[in-house]
Amino acid sequence: MVRRPEQPNAVLTTGNTRNWRRRLDDTCSVLEGIRQSGSPDEICRSLLAFAGRFGATNLLAGQIPQPGSSRNEQLSHVLLDAWPQEWSVRYFSNGYLYHDPTIGLVCRDSPPFLWRDACRLSGTGATGARIMAEATEFRLRDGMTVALRTVEGMLVGFSVAGESLDIPADYGLVLQLIAAFALGHAISLVDGKLPVRPVHLSTRQKDVLRWAAEGLTVEGIAERLAISRNTVDTHLRVVRERLGVGTTIHAVAEALRLSLID
């Protein structure tokens, strides 16, 4: 499973609940396609069918290995790979990983970001800028990256890229949800499709999670269910713990993946 660091009271908010609901509905077919995928390659195809509408032609996702890892160790951490092969060979052979401004931001647990902002946000110097420029030789001129964490604390970067992306400014949460769902399924394909033990959520916990998926804040959920804000916080904390994730947006992704909510 994949999570980001604990964010107290974090819920699915985009500033516009109606837009979030519409976009969540729009991604249901993507999530179902991922759920039915039997291999990482099939997951990549489902993801690119979605991201392609924004101009993405490639994607890459993997855990960030420890500094000093060999090229083969770095490659073994890749989970989803629809990247230009020649660029991957150059990138990993030349040790670009820890000079890449996008990886620098992933290591900081940055919110979803566009590549056009990566050098500025990371403060990377000429080496980072050169790596980004080299990527354009392989039609990777524009991209978006989501940072996640495994339950064990390993950092994960998930990127989509192409010649030119046209992603709405507030679409990062949608991509974060889809990335968490996809990476959870990819890991389950490797580890054995079913969880070690079933995850049980109470009816009220499912209700709270469903309203979180609708984009309601903690206060909004409390008002809708006529319970206290502290009770909502407690339910969300328990749900995150049972699903082994760190944020509510990832809890929603895991609950959808495991068919605990619909």
pLDDT (tens digit, 9 = 90+) per residue, 130-147? 999 999 999 999 999 999
- Model confidence pLDDT, tens digit, residues 47-59: 999 999 999 999 9
Please say whether the beta carbons of 20 and 215 come within 8 A.
yes
User: 251 pLDDT band (50/70/90 cuts)?
Assistant: confident
The CATH number of residue 129's host domain is 3.30.450.80
Overall number of domains in the chain:
1
pLDDT at residue 137, as a whole number: 97
Q: Is residue 116 part of a domain?
A: yes
Q: Is residue 21 part of a domain?
A: no
User: 248 pLDDT band (50/70/90 cuts)?
Assistant: confident
User: pTM of the prediction?
Assistant: 0.78
Indicate whether 29 pLDDT > 50: yes
Return the percentage of the chain with pLDDT > 70, whole number.
85
pLDDT at residue 61, as a whole number: 95
Q: Is residue 101 part of a domain?
A: yes
Question: How far, CA to CA in Å, does 256 sit from each of 119, 192, 220?
Answer: 35, 18, 21
Q: Is residue 53 part of a domain?
A: yes
CB burial string 112-142: b at 16+ within 10 A, e below: bbbbeebbebbebeeebeebbeebeebebbb
pLDDT at residue 11, as a whole number: 43
- Model confidence pLDDT, tens digit, residues 88-134: 999 999 999 989 999 999 999 888 899 999 999 988 789 999 999 99
Average pLDDT, the chain: 84
CB burial string 82-102: b at 16+ within 10 A, e below: bbbeebeebbbeeebbebbbb
pLDDT at residue 4, as a whole number: 39
Q: Is residue 118 part of a domain?
A: yes
pLDDT at residue 223, as a whole number: 92
Q: Is residue 229 part of a domain?
A: no
Q: Is residue 151 part of a domain?
A: yes
Q: Is residue 206 part of a domain?
A: no
Residue-number span of the structural domain to which 148 is assigned: 28-191
